[in-house]
Amino acid sequence: MSIKYGLLALLEREPMYGYQLRSEFERSTGATWPLNIGQVYTTLSRLHRDGLVEETGESDEQGKVVYRLTDPGRTDLARWFTTPVTQDDRPRDELAIKVALAVTTPGVDARAVVQAQRTATVRHLQELTRLKAGAAEEDIAWLLVLDSMIFRAESEVRWLDHSETRLARMPRPPVRPAAAAAETTTQEVPR
C-alpha cells in the first residue's frame, strides 16, 4: 500500500514517468527503502486500470510514458493523508515474534537471541547517527525518515534490555536440545 500512495503523492507534485518516480521516491526517503523498478511499472498499470492515474498524451520525448493524477486519484490520496495508520495496517513484527517464540521453544536460549539482536541494533543505530551527521539540513523529508528510524532503533534497544531483565528473573532456561525431554512428558516417541 505504501508504494501505491507514494506514487500518487509524487504525481500530485507533478506528472512523471516510471523511472523518474523511482528516483524521486528514493530521494525523498534517502534510499532507505530502495524501490524496485519492476514494481513501479506494475503498480502504475494497476493505478491506471483503476482510474487513479492517466497517461498524459505521450507528446513527450520518445519512450517515456508520463502519468498524471486523475480526480479520483487525488481524492484517494487525500483520504490516505488524512487517515491515521492503525495497528491493523502494520505488518507483523518479526523480532517480537522471534523473541516471543524463543522463550517457549526447547533448545533455544532466548537471552542469547535478545543479546545478539541488541548488538546488531546498536550497530545499526551508530550507522544511523553517522548518516544523520552528514545529512543536509534542508532535506526535511530525509531527516524525518532518519529520525523515525533512530527513534525506533532506540526504543528497540530499550525493549531488548527490558526483555533481558524480564527473562533474567524467570523459572529456568529451557533444557538441552536433544536429551532429557522425555522423562517429564512421556509422549509417544516415534521411530
- With H, G, I as helix, E, B as strand and everything else as coil, classify residue 109: coil
Smallest separation (angstroms) from DNA to the CB of 153: 20
Q: For binding to DNA (CB under 7 A), which residues are involved?
A: 1-4, 17-20, 35-39, 41-46, 61-65, 92
- With H, G, I as helix, E, B as strand and everything else as coil, classify residue 48: helix
Residue 93 touching a copy of itself (CB under 8 A): yes
Smallest separation (angstroms) from a copy of itself to the CB of 135: 12
Q: For the purposes of burial, counting CB atoms within 10 Å of the CB of 172, is it exposed (0-12), middle (13-18) or buried (19 or more)?
A: exposed
Residue 20: name its binding partner from DNA, a copy of itself, none (Cβ under 5 to 8 Å by kind). DNA
Interacting residues of 182 by C-beta distance below 8 A, sequence separation 6+:
189
The angle at the Cα of 173, spanning 172 to 178, to the nearest 5 degrees, equals: 120
Residue 111: name its binding partner from a copy of itself, DNA, none (Cβ under 5 to 8 Å by kind). none
Smallest separation (angstroms) from a copy of itself to the CB of 83: 8
Spell out the alpha helix ranges (H) of the chain: 2-13, 18-28, 37-49, 71-82, 94-102, 110-133, 140-168, 182-185
Q: Which one, 46 or 79, has the nearer CB to a copy of itself?
A: 79
Q: Which one, 56 or 150, has the nearer CB to DNA?
A: 56
Please report, as residue ranges, which positions from 7 to 36 form the binding site for a copy of itself (by CB under 8 A): 9-10, 12-14, 28-29, 33
Residue 116 touching a copy of itself (CB under 8 A): yes
Residue 176 touching a copy of itself (CB under 8 A): no
Half-sphere exposure of 34 (CA within 13 A, CB side): 3
